[in-house]
A = this chain, B = another copy of it.
Amino acid sequence: MARFHYPCALRWSDMDAYGHVNNVRFLTYLEEARVEMVTALTDDGATPPDLATGILVVHHEIDYTAPLVHRRDPVDVAVWVTDVGAATFSLAYEVADPGVVYARAASKLATYDLREDRLRRMTASEREWLGRYRDDVVVS
C-alpha cells in the first residue's frame, strides 16, 4: 500500500577519499531503513513480529545513479516490500532527494531464528505485517 520512508542522517565519516559518500555506506543506509521499517511495524501496540529478532540477508543489488556528498540534512530512503514467500521476502529501495535519485536497490531476506541458528518460516501475522509496505513497483 505504502512505502516506508526513513530520513537517514548522513555522517561526515561516510565520505571516502573521493569526497563522496562511499558506495558501501549506501548498503548501511538500506540496512538502517530496513531495521527502522521492521521496528516501525510494532508501533501500533500490537504484538511485535519476530521479524525484529532475526533477518538474514540473502541477496543485494544496487545501482548508483548520482554521487552524494555529506550535508546536514538527512537523505530519504524509501523501502517497500515486493514479494513475500514462506521463509523469505524481498524489498526494494530508493535513496533520493526531491528531484534526484542517488541509488536504487533490491534485497532478498530470510527469516532467521537466532537462538536455534536456523532459517524459519514466517507466521501468517508476519506476512500480514509485511503486506502493509507492499508495493508492486519493482526497481528497474
Mark A residues whose CB is within 8 Å of B. 8-9, 11-13, 15-19, 22-24, 27-28, 31-32, 35-36, 39, 54, 56-64, 67, 70, 72, 74, 114
How many angstroms between the C-alpha atoms of A54 and B28 in the bound complex? 23
A24 to chain B, nearest CB (A): 4
Query: Are B17 and A16 closer than 8 Å at their CB atoms?
Result: yes
Query: Are A56 and B64 closer than 8 Å at their CB atoms?
Result: yes
Query: Are A16 and B13 closer than 8 Å at their CB atoms?
Result: yes
Which of the residues B24, B39, B61 comes within 8 Å of A72, measured between beta carbons?
B39
Which of the residues B8, B18, B60 comes within 8 Å of A23, measured between beta carbons?
B60
| Minimum-distance CB pairs A-B, first 4 | A61-B61, A9-B9, A23-B57, A15-B17
